[in-house]
Amino acid sequence: MTRCCLVLGDQLSDRLSSLNYLEPEDVVLMVEVWSEASYVKHHKQKIALVFSAMRHFADELRANGRSVIYVPLTDPENTQSLTSEVERHQRSHHFSEWLLTEPGEWRLKAAFDELKATLPVPLQVVHDDRFICSYDDFQAFLKGRKQPRMEHFYRKIRQSTGILMDGGDPVGGQWNFDHDNRKALDQRATPNPPQWPLDSITEAVIELVNTRLTDHFGVLDGANFQWPVNREQALLMLDHFITARLPSFGDFQDAMVLGKDTLFHSLISTSLNLGLLRPMEVCQAAEEAYRQGHAPINAVEGFIRQIIGWREYVRGLYWAYMPDYQTRNSLNASWPLPAFFWDESKTGMVCLSEAIRNTRENAYAHHIQRLMVTGNFALIAGCSVTEVCEWYLSVYADAYEWVELPNTLGMALFADDGVMASKPYCASGKYIDRMSDYCKSCRYQVKETETQNACPFNYLYWDFLMTHQERFRSNPRMAMILRNLDRFSEPKLAAIRSRAMEFRARVESTGSDVIASSQESLL
Ligand code: FAD
Ligand code: DLZ
Ligand code: SF4
């Protein structure tokens, strides 16, 4: 009685829970399907990455003696959805049972729940133990807490895993060293990411995506595609991070520099999310670097917090609050996403143009670009929550809804009314000027708020605060900001509002914030 295990495109781990249940005679099914490639218009690099990593993983399973059925996208028999491929293979092979590690996205969980009801044999869905915190443990954490906060969760995980602990105490005597992590970058050189030649599998996939998915966003060619597609490459990326980047990771975690796309960030999110790396091994490697005196505590603690703190926390929130979570829009944001989010040449704002260029060329932007540039703009301009979430899910090589949605809807857009963040991450151009060198080469004046050339982040920020001030007054963390707003004169407030209105009207009618020179003389 042969059983079949369906392995999804982000389940590429040799220790995957469902694979542990298999007997030698059982079979693994992996399918490249149109429905997954197009449920949002993923960046071309993301699709190439997932397909190449899937093909490499299938080869590794075969090399380890597993029997694998692999259905490529172009197979004429391919029915192009995950569930219909299960049904097709059940009809042709009459398996006695199906196994699946639970999918990472709610829509797929719902689809497989439906399939269970119609499949003639059992479909066993097993827990995904590639995360440190189980759903039950996360529910236990939430229980009785009115305002769950990541920092409390993070401390619990430090204690339960023993990561960066000396007995019962945090290493270095503090849980969090973030106050040391806010430096703007000086003139120092930043390391280039490691490179490896593309193999024939990746080359074939790049060709496939470039011929079949021409209308998807982003640049994809051999020169700019450098994501790890197997565990060996993922370990090289991790090793490069630990030796060349981690020592400066903390200091410059929030910095942004023109033309420097990755700074000291780790570039491991794609590998973690695909299953090529394990969160604990990554944290252990960082801790070891600290214990060997290779990296300072502020860097190591800051990095580990991202993995066992934020990454686990957002996954816990996603499953605890879905499916209602995706419909939330507590600030009633509905302004259509400007066209320049898809084409940076349409904006004169250097900060946005840099973040969007990085995104288009590399399917990547680091956290502060995502949160404080594109996310902050979308928040203060009041962009449609649905459109912004779809944009983030489409454009990044590491994007899966379980991690993208809480970060976008919750952290960046404050649309969940404070479940994820205790206050909105809204900021004026002053923050971007402090943390980057962007403003020096921008056509807009970062120190101005109401003039024609004023930085749009400034008037949109104050306009946003004016619009939502009644809601925010009950939040003690917003009190100081609102006191500043209260000091503004009526004419100043009116000027800000009218700049924001002009800006929106211009972007709506032209797709761009840039004033055409013919119009400029009329203003
Ligand atoms: P580093 O800065 O080196 O951080 C190390 C690791 O910590 C990352 O690889 C990642 O696994 C983890 N991490 C850091 N911050 C977070 C976070 N807030 N949530 C979850 N994990 C975190 N991350 C994704 O993996 N997929 C997404 O779709 C995604 N969407 C985001 C959308 C928005 C609006 C924001 C603000 C953040 C988003 N993030 C997402 C989190 C974070 O920006 C990326 O994980 C990070 O930029 C990836 O680059 P890196 O590997 O160089 O990370
Ligand atoms: C992201 C993705 C893409 C683009 N394609 C496939 C695919 O063809 N086959 C597959 O099994 N998985 C794919 N994936 C990953 C799934 O979308 C992923 O499993 C869900 O998003 C759950 O996290
Ligand atoms: Fe961005 Fe404003 Fe600075 Fe220009 S001046 S780069 S728009 S923050």
What digits encode the pLDDT tens for the residues 98-137?
999 999 999 999 999 999 999 999 999 999 999 999 999 9
Kindly report the protein residue whose alpha carbon is nearest to atom 8 of ligand 2.
32
The residue to mutate among 357, 430, 444, having the most atoms of ligand 3 within 8 angstroms of its beta carbon, is 444
Tell me the C-alpha to C-alpha distance, in Å, between residue 4 and each of 90, 93, 102, 171, 324. Answer: 9, 9, 15, 46, 33
Q: What is the pLDDT of residue 517?
A: 63
Sheet holding 123-126, edge to edge: 67-71, 27-31, 3-6, 97-101, 123-126
Mean pLDDT score of the chain, rounded to an integer?
95
373 and 351 Cβ atoms separated by less than 8 Å = yes
- The pLDDT of residue 518 is 55
Block residue for tokens 């990593």: 53
Q: Residue 451 corresponds to which tokens in the numbers above? A: 């003039």
Instruction: Say how many Å lie between the CA of residue 507 and the centre of ligand 1.
Output: 29
Centroid of ligand 2 to alpha carbon of 130 (angstroms): 17
Q: What is the pLDDT of residue 151?
A: 95
- Which whole-number Å values give the CA distances from 56 to 21, 60, 137, 231, 277, in the listed order? 22, 6, 34, 9, 15
Alpha carbon distance 155, 157 (integer Å): 5
Q: Best mutation site among 28, 31, 36 for ligand 2, i.e. most ligand atoms within 8 A of its Cβ? A: 36
- Return the pLDDT at 160: 95
Kindly indicate the confidence band of residue 468, based on its pLDDT and cuts at 50, 70 and 90: very high
Residue pair 257/185 in contact (Cβ under 8 Å)? The answer is yes
pLDDT tens across 396-452, in order? Answer: 999 999 999 999 999 999 999 899 999 999 999 999 999 999 999 999 999 999 999
Instruction: Give me the pLDDT at residue 224, please.
Output: 87
Phi-psi region of 275 (alpha: psi -120 to 50; beta: other; left: phi over 0): left
Q: What pLDDT is recorded for position 520?
A: 55
Of the given ranges (78-87, 253-262, 269-278, 333-342), which has the lowest mean pLDDT? 253-262
Three-state SS for 406? helix
Mutual angle of helices 231-240 and 279-291, in 10-degree steps: 30
Those residues whose C-beta lies under 8 Å from the C-beta of residue 373, and which sit 6 or more positions away, are 256, 351, 352, 354, 355, 365, 432
The mean per-residue pLDDT over the stretch 381-403 comes to: 98
* Tokens at 45, concatenated: 């690099």
Between the CA of 349 and the centroid of ligand 3 the distance, in Å, is 5
Which letter does DSSP use for residue 341 in this model? G
**pLDDT over threshold 70, residue 523:** no
Backbone phi, psi, residue 394, to 5°: -80, -40
Which residue's structure tokens are 């211009």?
506
* Closest alpha carbon to 424 in 382, 483, 393, 390: 382
Region 453-478: what's the mean pLDDT? 97
Task: Spell out the alpha helix ranges (H) of 75-199.
Answer: 82-93, 106-118, 135-142, 150-161
Q: In this structure, what token pair is assigned to residue 194?
A: 């490691």
* Confidence category of residue 146, pLDDT binned at 50, 70, 90: confident
The Cα–Cα gap between 157 and 506 comes to 48
Ligand 3 centroid to Cα of residue 457, in Å, is 7
Q: Classify residue 105 by its DSSP letter.
A: S
**pLDDT beyond 70 at 33:** yes
Residue 522 has pLDDT above 80, yes or no: no
Q: What is the DSSP letter of 522?
A: T
Residues of the chain with pLDDT > 70: what percent? 99
Q: What percent of the chain has pLDDT over 90?
A: 93
Q: Kindly list the protein residues whose Cβ atom lies closer than 6 A to any atom of ligand 3.
A: 349-351, 429, 432-433, 438-439, 442, 444, 446, 455-457
- Tell me how far apart the alpha carbons of residues 83 and 86 are, in angstroms, rounded to a whole number: 5
Q: Is the pLDDT of residue 94 over 90?
A: yes
pLDDT value of residue 519: 59
Residue 28 pairs with which residues in a beta bridge? 5, 68
pLDDT digits (tens, 9 = 90+) for 490-519: 999 999 999 999 999 999 999 999 987 655
**CB-based contacts of 406-411 (< 8 A; 24+ apart in sequence):** 406/314, 406/317, 406/318, 406/325, 407/314, 407/370, 407/371, 408/375, 409/325, 409/326, 409/328, 409/385, 410/314, 410/317, 410/325, 411/371, 411/375
Question: What residue owns the CA closest to ligand 1's atom 22?
Answer: 311
Q: Looking at ligand 2, which residue's alpha carbon is closest to its atom 4?
A: 37
Nearest CA to ligand 1 atom 11: 269
Rounded distance from Cα 98 to ligand 3 centre (Å)? 54
Q: Is the pLDDT of residue 182 over 80?
A: no
| Single-letter code of the amino acid located at 44 | K
Output the CA angle 478-483-485, nearest 5 degrees: 95
Q: How far apart (Å, rounded) are the C-alpha atoms in residues 499 and 217?
A: 31
CA of 321 to the centre of ligand 2 (A): 22
Residue 216 pLDDT > 80, yes or no? yes
pLDDT value of residue 186? 74
Which residue's CA is minimally distant from atom 6 of ligand 3? 439
Task: Please give all residues whose beta carbon lies within 6 A of any atom in ligand 1, as ranges.
Answer: 265-269, 272-273, 303, 306-307, 310-311, 314, 366-367, 370-371, 375, 392, 396, 398-399, 403-404, 407-408, 411-412
- Candidates 11, 35, 50, 273: which one to mutate for ligand 2, based on the most atoms within 8 Å of Cβ? 50
Residue 215 has pLDDT above 70, yes or no: yes
Residue 337 pLDDT grade (very low, low, confident, very high; cuts 50, 70, 90): very high
